[in-house]
Amino acid sequence: MKHRFLSILLVIVVLLGFLPLGAGAAPDLGLPGLAGIYRDYFMIGGCFGADKIAGERGQLFFHHYNAMTAENAMKPASLYNAGRELDFSAIDGLLAGVAGYGNTLHGHTLVWHEQTPAWMTQNKDGSPLAREEAQRNMAAHIGAVAGHFAGQVYSWDVLNEAMEDLIVDRSDWRVALRKTAWYNAFANGGPGEGGDGHIDFAFRQARAADPGAILYYNDYGLDKPRKARAVATMAAELNGAWLAEGNARPLIEGIGMQGHYSLSTSAADVEKSIQLFAELGVRVSISELDINAKPGGPDEMLKQAVKYAELFVVFMRHSDVVERVSFWGLDDGTSWLNLPQFGGPGAEPLLFDAGLNAKQAYYAAADPEGFLQAHGAAPPRQTWLGCLLRPFRFLYENDDLYGGDIFKYSRAAAVWLAKGLASSNKYARCGYSLLYYLLWPGARAVHWARGILGK
């Protein structure tokens, strides 16, 4: 009898072990809510879908966040049915369910090259639509969607991720643009009509559809100086033209730094980019914050917490321009990083674990200065590969020593390109640049001399 009882107990214990961690977990709502802590600094937000705002997760979500971004439900692909008609029922239903919380709604995203029906930009055979048709589709989409949410949405990501990661030619932001399906369709027009035209067009449509909304350009990797510079130059140029037409407010009013960071992200780099955007007179949001630490036990989680603390110190220091810090999720159990295509499962990037318990990262975000005093700043992360690549990264990021420009200015480059010996492919060009730099140290001197002489 005793054995039977013990066996049943064991089975119950084992079964409990297999239950999903979040099930039945009671979130600790006694902890100070982050939105309240940062009320005088910036909004604190999170991305949501049905999985993130139901039950206990919902309680925790609205305890800590006063801003919300739909993780997927407002993207173009989520809004059209098979008949190419807009259907807002899913997102409207989600929003109606949480209307009582009064969270500020940030729209994500009107234009993107992912999660967008192919018919908007391409013919059936995959070739780009003619510019005129793509323009019609974009105008109709932005007009209807931004129009539908006008008055409900505080700000919009008008355009998401239009910039390349590896920017070889820094002389013109246009060259740094991704050749997306939108880009290619807009490039498929008359003489002088380039793919870059989709950016200005998208922002102008959004401004017309919802004059009250604050319009954002959103991208990842903006802690990288070269990419940040390209975005800043683009915003400055488009805003300059728009203001010269007599408009009172900038066209691109905010830059969303997504903030999908890792333990090797430098808070100092993040700060430099915030300052760069602030100089443009636009506001900044940290729009999709998470820190992807490899599950590796308490040590990694402490390093992650320290990184969160360092970042929040920076965000607070620039709270005059940072208007929102939004996490890309709430708890580790429902982070996008658990999807197999993004390296999951087992991701641990957020402030709460899959059982909704506050991690050290929560305490770090809630009191960053106190946390750093107790635990110290993170020592720079060293890996063998990182050490090996450091000089090259320095070359790439540093404007004055950049191999790409040396290559561009060199006679050899012109000859190689003309003979078809050098590919204009960005990776190949970067490789040639590096080779060129290593093989001919004198190139640096020539490059500097040209800079000094203004040639």
Q: Please, which residue, 59 or 78, has the CB nearer to ligand G3I?
A: 78
Which CB, 72 or 275, lies closer to ligand G3I? 72
**C-beta contacts of 41-44 below 8 A and 24+ residues apart:** 41/315, 41/316, 41/319, 41/322, 42/315, 42/319, 42/322, 42/323, 42/324, 42/325, 43/67, 43/104, 43/323, 43/324, 43/325, 43/326, 44/324, 44/325, 44/326, 44/327
CB of 259 to ligand G3I, least distance (A): 10
Only one residue has tokens 């060293």, namely 382
Asked about 161 being catalytic, the answer comes back as yes
Does 223 bind ligand G3I (CB under 6 A)? Our answer is no
Coil vs helix vs strand at 98: coil
Interaction mask 317-336, ligand G3I, x per CB under 6 A: -------------------x
The active-site residue out of 157, 219, 310, 348 is 219
Dihedral over alpha carbons 71, 77, 79, 83 (to 10 degrees): -160
* Amino acid at position 361, single letter: A
Q: Which residue sits closest to ligand G3I, CB atoms considered?
A: 336
- Contact flag: residue 114 with ligand G3I (CB under 6 A): yes
Interface mask (CB under 6 A) for ligand G3I, residues 140-179, using x and -? Answer: --------------------x-------------------
The active-site residue out of 157, 169, 196, 288 is 288
Contact status: 290 vs ligand G3I (CB under 6 A) = no
**Distance, CA of 325 to CA of 259 (rounded, Å):** 9
Binding residue for ligand G3I, selected from 210, 288, 332, 353, defined by CB under 6 A = 288
Closest CA to 364 of 403, 312, 328, 402: 312
Nearest to 107 by CA among 156, 148, 59: 156
Q: Which DSSP category does 73 fall into?
A: T
> Quick check: is 219 catalytic?
yes
Mask of contacts with ligand G3I, 30-49, x by CB under 6 A? --------------------
**Distance in Å, CB of 332 to ligand G3I, minimum:** 14
Q: Of 90, 205, 193, which is closest to residue 150 (Cα–Cα)?
A: 205
CB of 115 to ligand G3I, least distance (A): 6
> Does the annotation count 288 as an active-site position?
yes
Give the residues lining the site for ligand G3I (CB under 6 A). 71-72, 114-115, 160, 258, 288, 336, 339
